Structure 1
Amino acid sequence: RHERLQALAERLAGLGAEPLVLAADLADEAAAQRVVKEAEAHFGRLDILVNNAGVMYLEPVAEADLGRWRHMLELNVLGLIASTQAALAGMRARRDGHIVNIASTAGRVANPNAAAYSATKFGVVAFSEALRREVYKDNIRVSVIEPGVVETELRDHIGHAATKDALNAWAGGMRQLQSQDVAEAIAFCVSRPPHVNVNEVLMRPTDQER
Structure 2
Amino acid sequence: MTKRLEGTVALVTGASSGIGAATARSLSAEGASVALLARRRERLEELAGAIRADGGTALVVEADITDQQQAEKAVSRVVTELGRLDTVVNNAGLMYIAPVADASTEDWDAMLQVNIQGLLYVTRAAVPHLLKAAEDSPRGVADLVNISSTAGRVARPNTAVYNLTKYGVNGFTEALRQELVPKRVRVSVVEPGTVDTELSSHLREGVRQAVETQTKDMEMLRPGDIADAVNYIVTRDRRVAVNEMLVRASEQTW
Q: 1:135 to 1:118 in 2, by over 3 A?
A: same
Is 2:58 the counterpart of 1:19?
A: yes
Amino acid in structure 2 at the alignment position of 1:58: I
Residues 135-146 of structure 1 correspond to what in structure 2 (within 5 A)?
Answer: 135-146=180-191
Amino acid in structure 2 at the alignment position of 1:130: A
Larger deviation: 135-144 or 92-101?
A: 92-101
Aligned to 1:103: 148
Where is the helix percentage greater, Structure 1 or Structure 2?
1
Provide the TM-score with structure 1 as the length reference. Answer: 0.96
Aligned to 1:87: 126
Is 2:214 the counterpart of 1:170?
A: yes
Is 2:85 the counterpart of 1:41?
A: no
Aligned to 1:151: 196
CA distance in 2 between partners of 1:75 and 1:120 (Å):
9
Q: 1:27 to 1:168 in 2, by over 3 A?
A: farther
CA shift for structure 1 position 144: 0.3
Question: Pick from 127, 133, 136: which aligns with 2:172?
Answer: 127
Does the Cα contact within 8 Å between 2:87 and 2:143 map onto a contact in 1? Answer: yes
Aligned to 1:203: 247
CA shift for structure 1 position 30: 2.2
CA distance in 2 between partners of 1:142 and 1:14 (Å):
31
The alignment partner of 2:58 has SS state of coil
Amino acid in structure 2 at the alignment position of 1:47: D
Alpha-carbon displacement from aligned partner over 1:58-78 (angstroms, at most 9, x marks no partner): 010000111110111010011
Question: Pick from 157, 161, 166: which aligns with 1:112?
Answer: 157
The alignment partner of 1:22 has SS state of strand
Does the Cα contact within 8 Å between 1:113 and 1:163 map onto a contact in 2? Answer: no
The alignment partner of 2:189 has SS state of strand
In structure 1, runs of 5+ residues without a counterpart are: none
Q: Which contiguous aligned blocks of 4+ residues in structure 1 show a shift greater than 6 angstroms?
A: none
CA distance in 1 between partners of 2:196 and 2:68 (Å):
28
The alignment partner of 1:25 has SS state of coil
Does the Cα contact within 8 Å between 2:87 and 2:130 map onto a contact in 1? Answer: no
CA distance in 2 between partners of 1:133 and 1:67 (Å):
34
The alignment partner of 2:190 has SS state of strand
Is 2:92 the counterpart of 1:53?
A: yes
Amino acid in structure 2 at the alignment position of 1:194: R
CA distance in 2 between partners of 1:65 and 1:47 (Å):
38
Alpha-carbon displacement from aligned partner over 1:144-166 (angstroms, at most 9, x marks no partner): 0000000000001113x322210
Provide the TM-score with structure 2 as the length reference. Answer: 0.80
**Matched residues, number:** 209
CA shift for structure 1 position 91: 1.8
Question: Pick from 102, 107, 110: which aligns with 1:71?
Answer: 110
CA shift for structure 1 position 189: 0.2
Does the Cα contact within 8 Å between 1:185 and 1:201 map onto a contact in 2? Answer: yes
